[in-house]
Amino acid sequence: MTVGSMERPTGDIACTSQLKRYGQFIEDLQNRLRRTEESMEIVDRSYIVQCQSIPTESASLSELVRSGNDVIDKTLVVLASLCSEVDALKAEAECKFYPALLAYGEDVQGYLTQEGGALRLIGQMLPCLQELSVFINRCYEVCRNVVLQMASLFSNQ
C-alpha cells in the first residue's frame, strides 16, 4: 500500500468519528435544553420585561464639525441640522400620517350606511387633516431652506 491509500481510510474513520461525536453533542444539547425548558415554568407572563436599547448621540453637531474654517463649520452644521430635520419629518409622516391616510374612507363602524355617515367620517378626519396641513407647510419650509443653503454654497459671492 502506498502512503496516500493509507491516509484515505484513516481520514474517513476520523471524519466518521467526528460526525458521531458532533451528533452526540447535538443530542446532549437538545436534551439539556428540553430539561431546562421543562424546569422553567412561567405562571404569569406579565412579569416578562422587554428592554429596548436605542443608542443616542450626546455630542452636538457643533462639537462634531471642526475643520478649522468657520464658514465651512457653520455651513456643515446648518446642513446637518437640516438633514436631521428631514429625518424627523420623515419619521413623523410614517408614524402619524401614513396610517391615518391609508385608513381614511374605510367604514369600519358602518357610518356610511347611516344618514350623514360620509359627513361624520369627514368630520372625524378634519383634525388629522389640519395637522397634516401644518406638517406640509413645515415640509415646504424645510425644503426651501435646504435649497437656499445649497444655492448659497454655489453662489459666487
How do residues 66-82 score in pLDDT, each as one tens digit? Answer: 778 888 888 888 888 99
Give me the helices (H) in the chain, please.
3-39, 61-64, 70-92, 98-103, 117-153
Q: How far apart are CA 58 and CA 64, in angstroms?
A: 11
DSSP string, 107-137: -SS-GGGSTTHHHHHHHHHHHHHHHHHHHHH
Q: Is the alpha carbon torsion for 28, 29, 33, 39 positive or negative? A: positive
How do residues 36-94 score in pLDDT, each as one tens digit? Answer: 877 776 555 566 667 777 777 777 777 778 778 888 888 888 888 999 999 999 999 99
pTM to 2 decimal places: 0.55
In sequence order, which residues have a C-beta less than 8 Å from that of residue 113 and are 6 or more positions away?
107
Q: Return the pLDDT at 11.
A: 61
Q: Return the pLDDT at 2.
A: 47
Q: Return the pLDDT at 5.
A: 47
